[in-house]
Amino acid sequence: MIYRFADPFYLLLLGIVPAVIYWHVVHGRRQVGTLKYSSLALIKRADRRRSGRHLYALFGLRNIALIALIVAFARPQTGVTAENVTTDGIDIVMALDLSTSMLAEDLEPNRIEATKQVATDFVRGRRNDRIGLVVFAGNAFTQAPLTLDYGMVSTVLSELETGIIEDGTAIGMGLATAVKRLQDSDASSKVIVLLTDGRNNRGEIDPVTAAQMAQALDIRIYAIGAGTQGVARVPVDDPLFGRRYAQMRVDIDETTLQETAALTGGRYFRATDRESLEQIYAEIDELETTEIEVEQFTRYGELFHIPLLLGLTLLLLETCLARTVMRKIP
């Protein structure tokens, strides 16, 4: 809470008050009238001290009223400071690979679960940014449109599983679908975060062509290759022996992913374990920050009516008392 006087120079008039008191003390006593009485009996019964108190009470009321009116002229105000926050949000579409190779366990507990958990933390850490979700395997689909409902996006992420889409790795189709989600965006910054663990082997659009589409719409692509170096342990469902594990060679088309990111002004990252994946998403989070403008201002409310009403009330009271119970004769 802030207090101030809009016209503080009127407070200089408070210097009149000591002058009035001085004049009353020095000169007021000289203005003494006389009154003739036929008998001294009434005078002897009069309370002289009470009469003097009456005079000082009236004088005190008059001076307090004068002070209150001067304060009212100075216009006391109370102010509340507020902020006007303007944000320029970013539109982000995450494109995630759901091919069966994402079950590889080189990222704990496996690639798909690690990706879901880290991506969920990424979503919850954003502010004022719209986020959408595209998934792909043999084809690509939109799982969540651009939205500020981070809870809904987190829920959709938690329900993702491999096998819900025909198997394969249609990276180009995943990118093209993400671009389509962003093509009508008016955001100042548009971003696709692509995560895959293989190379494009399905779909009608190749990754470079999709990146060129993104480049034309001023969309940046951050590409993440998920998988260790060499081979990874992958669960395999055998109709005869049930689930067993096999060693699968990690085959990420890093050359194409690097070209895809470079075309749009983005970057390529390689996540070989859970920790590096978390670091990559944290770095992307820092690279794509939301601009926030904060404008501070103060709203003032007038308080002059309080001392004004007080001063006028005291003047009225002083006048009434001076003409009735505290009347001075002569």
Residue 261 to residue 194: CA distance in whole angstroms: 9
User: How big is the chain, counted in residues?
Assistant: 330
Q: Which two tokens stand for residue 78?
A: 């109370």
Tracing tokens 């009127």 back to the chain, one arrives at 10
Domains in the chain (CATH in brackets) are 2-30+46-80+297-323 (no CATH), 90-289 (3.40.50.410)
Q: What are the pLDDT digits (tens) for 99-141?
A: 999 999 999 999 999 999 999 999 999 888 899 999 999 999 9
Q: pLDDT band at residue 263, thresholds of 50, 70 and 90? A: very high
Q: What are the pLDDT digits (tens) for 302-324?
A: 998 998 999 899 889 888 887 88
Looking at residue 80, what is its pLDDT? 83
Residues 92, 193: contact at Cβ < 8 Å? Answer: yes
Give percent above pLDDT 70 in the chain. 85
Residue 328 to residue 35: CA distance in whole angstroms: 12
DSSP letter at 88 equals E
Which segments of the chain does DSSP mark as H helices, in order?
A: 16-27, 41-45, 48-73, 111-125, 150-158, 171-182, 207-216, 254-263, 274-287, 305-323
Q: pLDDT band at residue 147, thresholds of 50, 70 and 90? A: very high
Q: Which two tokens stand for residue 255?
A: 């050359």
Given a cut of 80, whether residue 326 has pLDDT beyond it is no
Tracing tokens 């002058």 back to the chain, one arrives at 19
Residue 25 CB contacts under 8 Å (≥ 6 apart), including other chains: none
Cα-based distances in Å from 269 to 19, 38, 70, 248, 252:
82, 116, 72, 21, 12
The mean pLDDT value for 227-239 works out to 85
What is the phi/psi pair of residue 63, to 5°? -75, -40
DSSP letter at 162 equals T
Looking at residue 209, what is its pLDDT? 96
Looking at residue 84, what is its pLDDT? 65
Looking at residue 175, what is its pLDDT? 97
Looking at residue 44, what is its pLDDT? 58
Q: Are strands 90-97 and 189-196 parallel, antiparallel or unpaired?
A: parallel
Given a cut of 70, whether residue 143 has pLDDT beyond it is yes
Q: pLDDT band at residue 281, thresholds of 50, 70 and 90? A: very high
Tracing tokens 């970057």 back to the chain, one arrives at 267
Looking at residue 40, what is its pLDDT? 60
Looking at residue 229, what is its pLDDT? 86
Alpha carbon 102 to its chain centroid, in Å, reads: 37
Q: Which two tokens stand for residue 238?
A: 């055998």
Least confident interval from 149-153, 161-165, 240-244, 262-266: 240-244
Looking at residue 267, what is its pLDDT? 95
Q: Three-state SS for 294?
A: strand
Whole-model pTM?
Answer: 0.65
Looking at residue 153, what is its pLDDT? 96
Please provide the average confidence, as pLDDT, over all residues in the chain.
86
- Rounded to the nearest 10°, the torsion over CA 173, 174, 180, 181 is 160
Residue 326 to residue 304: CA distance in whole angstroms: 30
Going by C-alpha positions, the residue among 101, 76, 133, 141 that lies closest to residue 307 is: 76
The mean pLDDT value for 281-288 works out to 88
Residue 296 CB contacts under 8 Å (≥ 6 apart), including other chains: 81, 82, 83, 84
143 by Cβ neighbours in 10 Å (0-12 / 13-18 / 19+) ranks as middle
Looking at residue 29, what is its pLDDT? 55
Q: Name the more confident of 208 and 43.
A: 208
Q: pLDDT band at residue 173, thresholds of 50, 70 and 90? A: very high
The mean pLDDT value for 167-177 works out to 96
Q: pLDDT band at residue 37, thresholds of 50, 70 and 90? A: low
Q: What are the pLDDT digits (tens) for 80-93?
A: 877 665 666 789 99
